[in-house]
Amino acid sequence: MHENDKRLAAKAALVEVRQGMKIGLGTGSTACHFVDLVGGLVREGLACVCVPTSVATERQARALGIPLAELDEVGRLDLTVDGADEVDPALNLIKGGGGALLREKIVAAATDRMVVIADGTKKVDHLGRFPLPIEINPFAAGTTTRAVQNVARQSGCRGSIVLRESADGHPFLTDGGHFILDASFGLISAPEALSRALLDIPGVVQHGLFLGMCKVAYLADNGTVTQLGA
């Protein structure tokens, strides 16, 4: 059922696509549907240049024949379509469940219109139910983890903070070679303050709070697509 909704949300976002656009391609199982659909449009004659947000998305897009470029080559993007782990009513997001949050945020920040696609389970009243991914440098990861724990406590966030592991039991490595902490806060009551405090920690590379970046979300719930934002 969720897979069907993911596809529906991805299809709904195709109204955002125009000839000649520079498009950021998100990462994850929902973004994967959008990439697949863009591949179809390219085969039918859509002219576009796309910037992938992960190695996995780059592989998929390349296999589909989607024209790709580095973000540095194209500068700003017209549109980015990406998934999310949580979307609140103000279109603030938690992202990074798939571990691509750093490139996703760099690409989103260089985009005129960031669009989120998701199934209805991602809609929340308040951010924090999904563990917040925090990307950290592997150097002195223990020291950085303790600093993150202190910042969380000072920001009124409780809950466990764990180092993400791969299936082989080793620390999960992002495309940039960093670690990820997953912080199960339950409720993030002051996301802006938490965001700033986390970024003040030297070993924190980036975190999965995407605040004020998303313009519109297409959320599909049991076959019905709702648009949030404009």
d(CA 138, CA 151): 19
User: What is the spatial distance between Cα 29 and Cα 147, in angstroms, rounded to a whole number?
Assistant: 32
Q: What element of type H or E holds 224?
A: strand 224-229
Contact 30, 104 (CB under 8 A): no
Interaction mask 13-52, ligand 5RP, x per CB under 6 A: -------------xxxxxx---------------------
Site string for ligand 5RP, 137-176 (x = CB under 6 A): ----------------------------------------
Nearer to ligand 5RP, 96 or 203 (CB): 96
Q: Rule CB under 6 A: choose which of 23, 84, 107, 194 binds ligand 5RP.
A: 84
From the candidates 58, 86, 104, 135, which is the catalytic residue? 104
Quickly list DSSP for 152-214.
Answer: HHHTT--S-EEE-B-TTSSBP--TTS-EEEEE--S--S-HHHHHHHHHTSTTEEEESEE-S-E
Q: Mapping DSSP to helix (H, G, I), strand (E, B) and coil, where does residue 17 land?
A: coil
Nearer to ligand 5RP, 172 or 229 (CB): 172
Please pick, from the candidates 7, 22, 95, 207, the single residue that binds ligand 5RP as defined by CB under 6 A.
Answer: 95
Q: Give me the least distance between CB of 39 and ligand 5RP, in Å please.
A: 17
Distances from the Cα of 118 to the Cαs of 11, 58, 130, 163, 218, in angstroms? 11, 20, 14, 26, 7
Order across the sheet with 209-210: list the strands: 86-87, 93-94, 209-210
Contact 142, 136 (CB under 8 A): no
Fill in the per-residue mask, 51 to 80: x = in contact with ligand 5RP (CB under 6 A), - = not in contact.
------------------------------
104 is catalytic: yes
221 binds ligand 5RP (CB under 6 A): no
> Least distance (Å) from ligand 5RP to the CB of residue 29?
3
| Listed residue (13, 63, 12) closest to 42, CA to CA | 63
Cβ of residue 36: shortest distance to ligand 5RP, in angstroms?
13
Q: Which residues pair with 181 in a beta bridge?
A: 134, 163
Chosen residue from 24, 99, 120, 128 binding ligand 5RP by CB under 6 A: 99
Residue span binding ligand 5RP (CB under 6 A) among the ranges 42-50, 69-77, 82-90, 153-161: 82-90
Instruction: Give the footprint of ligand 5RP on this chain (CB under 6 A).
Output: 26-31, 82-85, 95-101, 104
**Residues known to be catalytic:** 104
